[in-house]
Amino acid sequence: MIATTKKLTQHDVHKMERKGKVQTEWRGLIKLVDLIDMCFYLKSREWEIVAPQGDELIRARRDGTQITYCWDAEKKHIVCGRHEMALAYCYKTFWHDEW
């Protein structure tokens, strides 16, 4: 470790805090009008679509893994996690004609 006498500024501290944050949810990747097509895409990839619960729009299972796409009524967006985000980008790239 290198010792330094430089004092950290408020900007330096804020910059370090920003770098440490990890994004845990994504919003607006899938539009409401594309939900049915997204379900067809998931089924074509051997995901089993199961009944959603609460604010969920899509719930699917495959090989012990479960994914959900939820509705945020306050911000009017579909919210998803990291795995769902990856599937959403695959859907947009390989299945959906429009970006």
pTM, whole model, 2 decimals? 0.73
Can you tell me which residue has the tokens 């679509």? 49
Q: How many domains does the chain have?
A: 1
**Residue 30 domain-assigned (yes or no):** yes
Between 17 and 54, the more confident residue is 54
Q: Are 35 and 57 within 8 A, CB to CB? A: yes
What is the domain range of residue 47? 23-94
Using the predicted structure, report yes or no on whether residue 99 has a pLDDT greater than 50. no
Query: Measuring CA to CA, which residue among 47, 50, 61, 99 is closest to residue 91?
Result: 99
**Residue 58 domain-assigned (yes or no):** yes
Which CATH number does the domain housing residue 41 bear?
A: 3.30.310
**Residue 87 domain-assigned (yes or no):** yes
| pLDDT (mean) for 24-40 | 91
Per-residue pLDDT band for 15 (boundaries 50, 70, 90) equals: confident
Query: How many CB atoms neighbour CB 30 within 10 A?
Result: 25
